[in-house]
Amino acid sequence: MQTTIRHAEQDDYAAIAHIYAQPLAAAGTMQIPLQSREVWKQRLAGMATHDRMLVAVVQGEVVGNLGLHPVPNPRRAHVAGIGMAVRDDLHGRGIGTALLKAAIDLADNWLNLLRLELTVYADNTAAQRLYQNHGFVLEGTHRAYALRHGQYVDTHAMARLHPAPPGVR
Ligand SMILES: CC(C)(COP(=O)(O)OP(=O)(O)OC[C@H]1O[C@@H](n2cnc3c(N)ncnc32)[C@H](O)[C@@H]1OP(=O)(O)O)[C@@H](O)C(=O)NCCC(=O)NCCS
């Protein structure tokens, strides 16, 4: 599947809202179902300049999103958090891999980030496999981290360190 990765533009808010409105995307992330598109419009408009909001485009349509969010605290300036989703009907076609590869390239080779971190639901094996394939390791478990479909569910903390950080850190 021919997938192009680019940075999100203001006009992408409706497509991104649509991605996170899908049942699997909402269940796999911290997004809330039935969210207004306006919420995403404001999020994109209010995003800090150091936040990287990548989108995956297939046949002219935005079908995936990955946010790479550097931590503002200067003591954690080497760290960024990741959140992502691909439209429910297009899972398993390499779109998530393309987004994550692009984010890792930015982090490793352009943004001087040492540590990428995320939380993933303990039962979300597809996402965990994607992250493991790209060097993320399990660091621990948050118990009853979030409510999902009326039940408290655990998440795993996963992180990846730059495999060969430039210079002395
Ligand atoms: C997690 C997610 C982003 C992966 O995107 P994707 O485009 O489906 O991923 P890819 O097609 O690039 O596949 C990546 C890996 O995940 C695995 N995978 C994808 N879908 C899978 C599924 N339904 N079951 C099991 N594994 C699956 C693939 O096997 C692949 O591993 P492999 O290369 O070793 O075979 C996507 O499933 C998604 O949006 N899920 C809902 C939201 C979510 O969970 N976000 C993550 C929050 S931490």
The whole-number pLDDT of residue 167 equals 62
Question: 82, 130, 158: which to mutate for ligand 1, most atoms within 8 A of CB?
Answer: 130
Is 15 domain-assigned?
A: yes
The whole-number pLDDT of residue 10 equals 95
The whole-number pLDDT of residue 56 equals 98
Which residue's CA is the nearest one to ligand 1's atom 43? Answer: 28
The whole-number pLDDT of residue 147 equals 98
pLDDT surpasses 70 at 99: yes
Is 39 domain-assigned?
A: yes
The whole-number pLDDT of residue 166 equals 66
**What is the average pLDDT across 88-96?**
98
Q: Residue 149 C-alpha to ligand 1 middle, in angstroms?
A: 21
Number of domains comprising the chain: 1
Is 99 domain-assigned?
A: yes
CATH of the domain at 70: 3.40.630.30
pLDDT in tens, 10-36: 999 999 999 999 999 999 999 999 999
The whole-number pLDDT of residue 1 equals 82
Please indicate whether residue 99, judged by its CB atom, sits closer than 6 Å to ligand 1. no
Please indicate whether residue 130, judged by its CB atom, sits closer than 6 Å to ligand 1. yes
Is 71 domain-assigned?
A: yes
pLDDT surpasses 60 at 169: no
What's the Cα-to-Cα distance from 65 to each of 76, 78, 134, 152, rounded to whole Å?
24, 22, 17, 26
Atom of ligand 1 nearest to the CA of 91: 8
pLDDT in tens, 135-168: 999 999 999 999 999 999 999 999 999 998 766 4
Q: Which residue has tokens 């899908």?
A: 22
145 burial (CB, 10 Å; 0-12 / 13-18 / 19+) is middle
pLDDT in tens, 32-73: 999 999 999 999 999 988 999 999 999 999 999 999 999 999
Atom of ligand 1 nearest to the CA of 28: 44
Atom of ligand 1 nearest to the CA of 24: 41
Is 24 domain-assigned?
A: yes
Tokens at 23, concatenated: 């049942």
Is 63 domain-assigned?
A: yes
Q: Which residue has tokens 């995403």?
A: 40
Atom of ligand 1 nearest to the CA of 92: 11
Domain enclosing residue 50, as ranges:
4-117
Is 12 domain-assigned?
A: yes
Is 103 domain-assigned?
A: yes
pLDDT surpasses 90 at 91: yes
Q: Round the average pLDDT of the chain to a whole number and report it.
A: 95
Q: Residue 133's closest CA among 99, 167, 109?
A: 99
Q: pLDDT exceeding 70 applies to what percent of the chain?
A: 98
